[in-house]
Amino acid sequence: MRYDMISGLQQEYSNYTSEDFEVWKFLFERQMPALKQVAAQEYLQGIDNICFTADKIPDIEETNKLLGTQTGWELIVVPGIIKEPDFFNLLSQKKFPATTWIRKKESLDYLPEPDMFHDVFGHVPLLTHYHFTEFFQTIGKLGVQHLQNEQVVAMLGRLYWFTIEFGLIRTNNILKIYGAGIISSYSETKFSLSTEPKHIPYDASVIMNTPYENDHIQDTYYVIDSFEQLYHSIETIEQVIATAL
């Protein structure tokens, strides 16, 4: 699916049903009490910055206006998971691909692919944070630059997985969550901070050479000290890529 085809899609807000609003409200109200205690403060501030609430499914047009004034990012509506060339291309331009469909009541806790609650509730609040978005955009730029190199693309995929999707942060010596895959998952929010999984200090060079599995709850999480640390690891990431060429 090419980017010029993706860009023509729009959120059809009037098509949302009463069940869609009920599901959004249920998921939002189920997650927020826990997140207020265990999510990174930068994520919680982002929720306020883009005015997400339980009673209203986010309007992409309104969200884009808020993102635009804060970090210059915007959401691009996509039908589902898109191909890597399109994904990297969008990120490199400060554009995040997001679905607008919402899971059904009978599928509240498991989906074969991300819905709007994951894409928007999980990812978008941190798109208001400068250092996080600079790191995010760099993944896109490096992906575009090295798209023909499968090894580098795999490395960037691992980096994305263990940070953007399933990253943890240690604040005042307390573990918090920021990865969207955890943020949007009721069960993984609890599990990721328990004593069961491994918690390993963030090291981009290690992560880029660590395979992951995407069909079950993670058993290993990498922990950053700050979003500035992610930003300042870009030089290391580029060095790791250089050695793979």
123 is catalytic: yes
**The two structure tokens encoding residue 89:** 């291309």
Distance, in Å, from the CA atom of 227 to the CA atom of 230, rounded to the nearest integer, reads: 5
| Total structural domains within the chain | 1
CATH number for the domain that contains residue 163: 1.10.800.10
Which string of b and e fits 170-190 if b means at least 16 CB within 10 Å?
A: beeeeebbbbbbbbbbeebbe
Active-site choice (118, 146, 188, 233): 118
Determine the structural domain holding residue 218 and report its residue range.
3-244
pLDDT in tens for each of the 245 residues of the chain? Answer: 333 445 568 999 999 999 999 999 999 999 999 999 999 999 999 999 999 999 999 999 999 999 999 999 999 999 988 999 999 999 999 999 999 999 999 989 878 889 999 999 999 999 999 999 999 999 999 999 999 999 999 999 999 999 999 999 999 999 999 999 999 999 999 999 999 999 999 999 999 999 998 888 999 999 999 999 999 999 999 999 999 88
118 is catalytic: yes
185: left (phi over 0), alpha (psi -120 to 50) or beta: beta
129 is catalytic: no
